[in-house]
Amino acid sequence: MAEITAALVKDLREKSGVGMMDCKKALVETDGNMDAAMDWLRTKGLAKAAKKADRAAAEGLVAGKVSQDGKTGVVIELNAETDFVSKNATFQGAARDIAEIALGVDGDVDAITAAKTASGETVGEKVTNLVATIGENMRVRRSARLSVGQGAVALYLHNKEADDVGKLAVLVALEGAGDQATLKEVARRIALHVAGTPTPPLALDTSELDPAVVAKEREIQTQMAVESGKPREIAEKMVEGRIRKWQEEVVLLKQPFVMDPDKTIEQLVADTAKDLGSPVTVKGFVRFALGEGVEKKVDDFAAEVASMTGKS
């Protein structure tokens, strides 16, 4: 049997664009024959999948899972190129499986991608095989995990395509020693708020706001005040009040609860603690809206037709 050297694997990797482990496997299966290994990769669809890797993927699904004890929850985003794929049962199943695996991985997307599935392949290999099967570029774009020692984690999925998958996912973690069923219900209601409020919260409280985001808002507010004709020193004083008001609008605990606008989320949590007779705190929340922050390609079909026909 031919020796499968690192240089040989590297050479096949550069020619095919396929991952190192798959290249090594192809060379082992073909006794080190480079041409046969390329054919093996094409037969498996892996070379085809690698060529799709640079195509934009901003559609797909978000998926979520909560552990059986209700104390850990995860959300992941699995992207594809078209919305049509999100209705594919195989793709939906893959998103669910990846979320299930992510429950047991205390790490980022790279850690999840390297984790093994029930069939023995890694999540990364599973996605690559899915690309080869369905014919679109795909990727696990992001993930988040919340856990509590005491309390409950609740998941809400909006615009569901099927069980555990949809277009918007929210996780909320409540820490507390009180009745878990009550904490789970309150966490679920807060998750509904995060999904449905007109101003999605940027942070749990003002201390967690991104300083760069605050600085940008301050710059915008200062410019607006100056353009209104106010001297800069007066404008800057006006801005402080506006920043405080803006912060209250974009942090979760200060927002009016959508189901009862007369109280804030902070007051809802305080009322829950009073009813349970023990402290309750929001440990964290996560909101994943499909494709947010991704530049989506917009096809200009008129321009494409014009270029094909020579008309402009």
**Using one digit for the tens of pLDDT, what is the confidence trace for 75-95?**
999 998 888 888 888 899 999
**pTM (predicted TM-score):** 0.75
The pLDDT of 255-265, averaged and rounded, is: 95
Q: Is the confidence at residue 22, as pLDDT, over 90?
A: no
- pLDDT for 36 equals 84
- Each domain of the chain, given as residue ranges in start order, spans 6-51, 59-199+278-289, 210-248
Q: Find, among 104, 88, 258, the residue nearest to 170 by Cα.
A: 258
Same topology, domains 6-51 and 210-248? Answer is no
Higher pLDDT, 291 or 73: 73
Rounded CA separation 249/251 (Å): 6
Q: What is the mean pLDDT of residues 292-304?
A: 53
* CATH class of the domain at 210-248: mainly alpha
User: CB-based contacts of 175: which residues, under 8 Å, 6+ apart?
Assistant: 148, 149, 150, 151, 280, 281, 282, 283
Span 59-199+278-289: which CATH code? Answer: 3.30.479.20
**Hey, which residues does 153 pair with through a beta bridge?**
173
CA distance to 159, 161, 171, per residue, from 92 (Å): 14, 8, 19
Q: Which of 102-106, 235-239, 295-299 is predicted with the least confidence, judged by mean pLDDT?
A: 295-299
Report the alpha-carbon angle 240-246-264, nearest 5: 125
Contact 61, 166 (CB under 8 A): yes
DSSP state of 264: E
Taking alpha carbons only, the member of 75, 61, 72 closest to residue 112 is 75
CA distances to 64, 204, 310 from 155, rounded to whole Å, are 7, 17, 53
- Per cent of the chain over pLDDT 70 is 86
Q: Quick one: pLDDT at residue 54?
A: 52
In the CATH scheme, what is the code of domain 6-51?
1.10.8.10
Instruction: Say how far apart CA 211 and CA 200 lie, in whole Å.
Output: 18
Decide: 66 and 157 in contact? Cβ < 8 Å: no
